[in-house]
Structure 1
Amino acid sequence: MTKIHGAEHACSVIFSKAFDFIIPSYQRPYAWTTEEAGELFDDLLGAMEEQQITDPSDVDPYFLGNIVLIKEEGKPHSQVVDGQQRLTTLIILFSAIVDVLSGDQSKAFEKYINEPGDIAEDREPKPRLILRERDNAFFHKHIQTPGGISQLTEESSVKFRDVELRIWENASEFLGRLQAMDMDSVFSFAKFIVNHCYLVAVSTSNMNSAYRVFSVLNDRGLDLLPSDVLKADVIGKVGVAKRDHYTEKWEDAEEQLGRTAFGELFGHIRMIYKKAKAKKTTLEEFREYVLSREGRPEDLVDDVICPLADAYRVVANAQYESSKNAEKVNDTLGWLDRIDNRDWIPPAILYLKKHDGDTDLLSSFFDRLERLAALMLVCRWTINQRIERYSRIVEWIEGDRDIGDTAS
């Protein structure tokens, strides 16, 4: 039986030789905005000020949450299954602290960003945290390299993609807040974080066991979307040789749609498969109605998620491209977008996926769909009535029935 270990550690231990954190390529991108990063900063500063530290031995620990790791006992190598948002944000905060402080005070916190190495113990200098391959070079250059964070915040954000923009925004947020404090307060704040702020590290050497822990924690309200857990479910079952390829396909689809819309996509896919109103969470019903029907995870990504993500991008943004009927289709999609609900999207993206090359069919179908959606709006159909009708249309699309039958 695979053992699961759980223990609380101060940040001084979390960011030490005890752990070498690596974000696997199948993980979701770094996504915390200044809202989450600012809230973390406020919580930490508030916890320190609330306790009015006089005697360090009297300070109560402040818990930052859980991290889930694939890690063998006694070895530092740690694949992060859950917790990269907190770990990455804390490294950005340490980088800002090092930049704001000076002299010995600044140097004292460099070791929480990078392992300094020890020739007596045969430890090489290296970063404490390695992000996904596509994000790591940027992170290392601007956050883990001395002076990089101040240079980063002086650059224009226009050229940055999503992950880089999040890093830039949070670095700027932290630097601005720390620079507004006096240096003694910054130093006390930094000491409070490393000595009195704790993370609970849950580790197991088995990938499947780690995913189970990950899913349980997410289901109980951590800051992950259903698509993040489903990514672990799906990509975790892809063979090692193909895992990076399918991770990249998944993340390309997410990046093109945007994180919020990509999360919504899984609710629409659930509707296509279940053809009924949701009674449980998207996560539960996607597993029950979609994952249980699709055998190979590669087929699910290739034949379902990616094509429907492409269709959703076109439908949601009215971006259909063709030498014929494109303007007419996009005008109709624009009118559909004005409807006060999104229940029409599952049949729309399914039909576009199946008939992308037939502009006459698409134009006719979307005309009919827009008239139906408008009728439902004017007549004030209930959500149950709308779902029942759209479910029938999904069945019709799957059965390749004649377009004239949609009115029946």
Structure 2
Amino acid sequence: MEAAERTISKILTEQIRYEIPPYQRPYSWEKGNVEQLLDDVWDAFEADDEEYFIGSLITIERSKDELYDVVDGQQRLTTLNLIFARLRDAVSEPAKSTLGKRVLPKNELTGEEETPRLTLRQKDQSFFRRHVLASEEITDAISREIQNKQDAPKIRLTENLGVIDNFLAQRDEKSLKLFANYLLTKVYVVFVTTASWQSAYRLFNVLNARGMPLSNADLIKNMLFARMGGASSKSEELDEQWLQLEEAIGIERLDQFLAHHRSSVTAIKARKTLHEEYKPLIEASDSPFSFLDGITTSARNYLRIQQNGFEDVAARRSLRSLHRVAFEEWVPPLLAYLNNPVEGISEAEFIDLLEKVTYQNWIRRLAFTARLTAYFQLITAIRSGKSADEIRSIFRQNAQNEEFHSLLNGEVYGKPFAQAVLLRLEEADQDESVTKDYGGKITIEHVLPQALKEDYWRERFTDDAHRQWLHRLGNLALLAGIKNYKAQYFSFDRKKKIYSERNNKVSFDTTKLILEQDDWRPEFIEFRQAKMVEAAADIWTIA
């Protein structure tokens, strides 16, 4: 490994080319990053500072003094290319040609464009060359297309070009030429070179250990390329498959998916960082491609879970209910089942049983490790080829129906599961073909208020009855919008008017039943409580 201070003029020269290797993440700097870089360097330029450092550029030397893979520093290097391309477009000759050589040199005899100084990842290179290096206009149609596709790297490139254009438009040509000269001669990086893919792999881990912003997905992808030993003939194929995975899941959710997939395979609690947990899995696979094939299959099923892509209406209802749960440990066993279907147990039945055990454990307030017990038992049984009856028996063994019923029959207001339970009960009497998605703010209101301030309530409820029914299901109403604190102590008739107005915006059937009552007494709360607990038992009891 070698390291040396170099000016930008020695980094962006006609002799050196850089490529972003497949295992790298795409361009992701946001507008604020570019604005900060421009402002900082401009301040140094105006202050006539002798030197200004912008960080390190860590590379693998593929061809002596000619071609380098960028291991770290691609965000700064790409942004410098954006800046010099726009500076080139903003000045006249001969400065234009001088700056052009730094990003996209041209043959002086033929005028033809030569190889760019920087090549991005395959998916982004065409856009980068045409619209950054060659200055083709990014039309409104192109902008709409990349926005519709949610193509994050191209969105960032477009936005950051706009930031640079705005910055340059505020300065005259003479100042821009002097600024460009300062960038080339007084701005420095620490240029680090390594010699191999293996070195790059070690360097990635060192950078990660030192807190550099590398995601677990970056490191896992790098392990796959390291396992391949730098075979360039296959690297593009592997890169393309990984790109498809990134596009399907989304870079921002990739680590989360990979964590769920790991659990769906190992059925053990993670003890190390995610990329470290993946190392033995990758080493045990037949090849990087077979490993990635398994990941890809799992990703398709993960998307089905996230998008509720199931044909069976009962399965969709149960899964919609699972997505309301405050934790996601239920995802790995469902992934394990979808990746390895169990003959004799349908998707709808498995998801129904998974909802039952998940809500029982949530309402019983089981801790994280205790919740994992049932899920890991299921994953182990599925992956070892257990029968449908053996899978069902695991659900039954983890059921605590009586404790669950007792807790639901008690006080639920203020509990983390309260809204999810009420929303699921809202669906209980509806036909399974009916789908309701509740957006916006939803609140839980006490019908019988928390303080007996009005005569209406004091005439109907003793202090004991008030304490007995206040926070139980039978006294709670779902309403759309923010909580109405001013109305909370009103009499029942006044409350009904408020409830009716808010229920017209978002209709809750369980609230309609409240509106149908002429009076609100302990006897009706007791009746409603019994009906709601019975409905909950029908949904979540494991027989």
TM-score range, shorter chain: 0.7 to 0.9
Q: Does residue 14 of the first structure (1) align with residue 18 of the second (2)?
A: no
Shift of 1:154: 4.8
Write the letter of the residue equivalent to 2:188. Y
CA distance in 2, matches of 1:359, 1:225: 40
Q: Specify the alignment match of 2:366 in structure 1.
A: 381
Partners in 2 of 1:294 and 1:216 — Cα distance?
Answer: 25
Equivalent of 2:33 in 36, 39, 53: 39
TM-score, length basis structure 2: 0.64
**Residues 128/345 of structure 1: CA separation in 2 closer, same or farther (3 Å cut):** same
1:53 and 2:47 aligned: yes
Partner deviation per Cα, 1:94-126 (whole Å, 9 max, x = no partner): 22333344555544422221234578xxx9833
User: Do the aligned partners of 1:53 and 1:59 also contact (CA within 8 Å) in 2?
Assistant: no
Contact 1:33 1:166 (C-alpha < 8 Å) held by counterparts: yes
Q: Structure 1, residues 43-74: CA drift from partner, whole Å, max 9, x if none? A: 442254267523xxx523323233222334x4
In the alignment, the residues of structure 2 paired with residue 98 and residue 229 of structure 1 have an alpha-carbon distance, to the nearest angstrom, of: 36
The 3-state SS of whatever aligns with 1:32 is: coil
| TM-aligned CA deviation for residue 18 of structure 1 | 4.1
Q: CA 1:245–1:212 in structure 2 vs 1: closer, same or farther (change >3 Å)?
A: same
Question: Where do 1:2-401 residues align within 5 Å?
Answer: 4-24=1-21, 26-34=22-30, 37-49=31-43, 52-54=46-48, 58-72=49-63, 74-102=64-92, 104-117=94-107, 125-145=114-134, 147-148=135-136, 151-152=137-138, 154-160=140-146, 161=149, 162=151, 163-181=153-171, 186-238=176-228, 239-288=231-280, 290-302=281-293, 304-320=294-310, 322=311, 325=312, 327-355=313-341, 361-401=346-386
Q: Aligned in 2, Cα 1:107/1:351: closer, same or farther, shift over 3 Å? A: same
Call closer, same or farther: CA 1:196–1:166 in 2, change over 3 Å.
same
| 8 Å contact from structure 1 (residues 22, 78) kept in 2 | yes
Partners of 1:378 and 1:114 in 2: how far apart? 62
Structure 2: runs of 5+ lacking an equivalent: 398-543
Amino acid at match of 2:235: R
**Following TM superposition, by how much is the alpha carbon of 1:252 offset from its aligned partner in structure 2, in angstroms?**
0.6
Does the Cα contact within 8 Å between 2:60 and 2:196 map onto a contact in 1? no
- Give, in whole Å, the separation in 2 of the partners of 1:18 and 1:220: 32
Residue identity matched to 1:244:
E
- The alignment yields a C-alpha RMSD, in angstroms, of 2.8
Aligned residues: 385
Contact 1:69 / 1:82 at 8 angstroms: preserved in 2?
no
Identity over aligned residues, as a percent?
26
What secondary structure sits across from 2:138 in the alignment? helix
Using CA pairs below 8 Å that are at least 6 residues apart, which structure has the higher relative contact order? 1
Which residue of structure 2 aligns with residue 404 of structure 1?
A: 392
Distance 2:13 2:316 in 1: 55
Report if the CA contact (8 A) 2:27-2:74 is conserved: no
1:315–1:333: 8 Å Cα contact kept in structure 2? yes
Separation in 1, partners of 2:43, 2:340: 59
Whether contact under 8 Å (2:298, 2:339) holds in the other structure is yes
| 1:178-234 Cα shifts (integer Å, max 9, x gaps) | 334555654454344323332323223322222222332233222221111211211
Change (3 A) 1:77 1:381: same
Residues 311 and 359 of structure 1, relative CA distance in 2, 3 Å threshold: farther
- In structure 2, relative to structure 1, the CA distance for the partners of 1:399 and 1:18 (3 Å cut) is same
Displacement of 1:12 after TM fit? Answer: 1.4
User: Counterpart of 1:363 in structure 2: which amino acid?
Assistant: A
Contact 1:69 1:201 in 2 (8 A): no
Cross-structure match for 2:432: none
Q: TM-score, normalised by structure 1?
A: 0.84
Greater gyration radius: 2
